Amino acid sequence: MKYTFDWGDGSTASTDFVDSGTTASMSHSWTNAGVYQIKAMATDSRGATSGWSEAAAVEIIEREEWTLYYPDFTDTTNPDNWRSWLMIQNPSDEAANIQLELRDRTGVLRYSGSQTIPANAVAAIRPKNLAGVEFAGSAAVTSDRPIAGACEINRNNNDMCMSYSAIDQGSNQLFYPDFTDTTNPDNWRSWLMIQNPSDEAANIQLELRDRTGVLRYSGSQTIPANAVAAIRPRNLAGVEFAGSAVVTSDRPIAGTCEINRNNNDMCMSYGAIDQGSNQLFYPDFTDTTNPDNWRSWLMLQNPSDEPANIQLELRDRAGVLRYSGSRTIPANGVAAIRPRNLAGVEFAGSAVVTSDRPIAGACEINRNNNDMCMSYSAIDQGSNQLFYPDFTDTINPDNWRSWLMLQNPADEPANIQLELRDRAGGLLYAGSQTIPANGVAAIRPRIMAGVEFAGSAVVKSDRPIAGACEINRNNNNMCMSYKATE
């Protein structure tokens, strides 16, 4: 069975075929404000249709302001310490006027000001430069035009880095699919960063569980107005463990998970997830048996009090099916899936997970025998437009190199239009290509543009796609990743 949606603006879109009785969903963006009549129709594998449903009216209101949250950064002048960049992409053909607030973790305002991002350009903001002081804190950005963003953090004189996608809305519930927290600085250590961007205190309820679903801690705390809580799970649970977290709040909050190892010589981060989904996409992983090569884990959190039955498909980048099967994640448990173990072969590819209960996920990738790692949040829906706020792509393997990973989870090819621009907004490449059914495109910006550069990308597609940006340096000795913004 597949479902076709009429969006009321002259466009339609269809899901892939799913088992009869299975829920499926799609997203859509309208260009103009107005009231649209939305209809849906089911079609079985023999072509029989249900006919169109009754129309449901949806009112689209033109927004006057867009917001991004950066839950955590630390910015210093010392290149061996933490340094941070807030990357903000304006994909519009008109200039974007932004208002920026920088606060320390206690909520004290360190900087408030405005600036303009030129059409199609990117702003690279160092918080310490604006605040005039080194500090750890958070940021809130408002804009009169849609913007996208990422936070990029490095340390040890460009020998360690991590990144996460800026968060476009607060939520009253956050999920952290995976962390490992120990006392040993050479082992994994984790921080759950929770930003309260409100002018009132946020009262949160926190549950920490191990991967089997056993409750390790349950309690509440208050995050002051405009402040950030930095939570160490082992401190609250009183024991070292690998697990997951669920945070509920009486005010919208935003969050990230930050994980490091080897006494601050390796780190990764991902954005906390603001809702469970019945379908998750993992645009890219590479999984081998060699600990000095790439190894990957698909982390799947079931925050429900009932088991979640999932269906998993693993495909290589050409779209060839390497594994299809099902399993059950216990109530409140986490599944840590190694693709090569299920497929029986080392490969680079993508994954699609469907579930009878809402789940959340992250992809964790490491290399060089646990001396380099990166992670990104699993993506809960495909989109016809993706934004990549920042990358730097050069020929030198000791410098920055970047890959734009694009997953087409549909059973039909996806035709994409790609624009690559430098940070000033100059167009360096515009072209199209086709991603095979269920395939992944790994795009090197410098190869397309014919020049080394730092910039941003916008991808448009005739089918919903999902994406991630993967960046490495120092001849594969440092890496970071973030999910593309819808």
DSSP string, 137-191: EEEEEEESS--EEEEEEEETTTTEEEEEEPBSS-EEEEEEEEEEE-S-TTS-EEE
Cα 151 to chain centroid, rounded: 12
> Residue 262: what pLDDT?
79
Are 454 and 391 in contact by the 8 Å Cβ rule? The answer is yes
- Residue reference for tokens 């699993």: 378
Residues recorded for the chain: 486
pLDDT digits (tens, 9 = 90+) for 348-378: 999 999 999 999 999 999 887 777 788 999 9
Burial class (CB in 10 A: 0-12, 13-18, 19+), 455: buried
- In whole angstroms, what is the distance from residue 14 CA to residue 460 CA? 17
Percent of the chain with pLDDT over 70: 99
Are 102 and 108 in contact by the 8 Å Cβ rule? The answer is no
The model's pTM is 0.88
> Residue 62: what pLDDT?
64
- pLDDT band for position 418 (cuts 50, 70, 90): very high
Please give the average per-residue pLDDT across 436-457, as a whole number.
Answer: 97
pLDDT digits (tens, 9 = 90+) for 121-168: 999 999 999 999 999 999 999 999 999 999 999 887 777 788 999 999
> Residue 108: what pLDDT?
97
User: Of 355, 163, 372, 145, which Cα lies nearest the Cα of 270?
Assistant: 163
